[in-house]
Amino acid sequence: MKINGETYTVEYHKNDNRIAFSGNLRLQTINSYEEIINFTLRFALESNEPLILDFTKLEIINSSGIASLGLFLVKLRDTESEKKLVIHASKYIQWQVSSLNDLRELNDNLDIIYIVHH
């Protein structure tokens, strides 16, 4: 399953329960991210395995996107499902290094792994 935008792709990979984000994600408002949030939440809740959010190929995301990611983490936490979530991030993409660690405060079941290669 996949969501294609003009400058981005969000694709679910069933074999490793991973959602890969790529491109430039700059939607106008938090509400514009609703399809992506619901897509991600669906796969987070469907599997017993930890869901991997792979951002290693997501070059740019705007503040609405970061806020939407936070909203997703709160929604997942509020389901009381105790679902484990893993973010794969790149040490070479500045927004990931500077923004993702703050998200740990929103969900105790979140791990962030920084991938060295790009």
At position 71, the amino acid (one-letter code) is: L
**Domain locations in the chain as residue ranges:** 2-115
CATH top class, domain 2-115: alpha beta
**pLDDT per residue as tens digits for the range 19-76:** 999 999 999 999 999 999 999 999 999 988 999 999 999 999 999 999 999 999 988 8
What is the rounded average pLDDT of the residues 87-91?
A: 95
Q: Judge whether residue 18 has pLDDT over 80.
A: yes
Q: What pLDDT is attached to residue 117?
A: 63
Average pLDDT over residues 5-16: 96
CA neighbor of 94 nearest in space, from 64, 74, 79, 114: 114
Angstrom distance (rounded) from CA 17 to CA 103: 21
Q: What is the dihedral of CA 1, 96, 105, 50, to 10 degrees?
A: 30
Predicted confidence at residue 78, as pLDDT, reads 85
Helices (H) and strands (E) in the chain — how many of each?
Answer: 3, 6
pTM of the model: 0.92
Least confident of 16-20, 33-37, 87-91, 97-101: 97-101
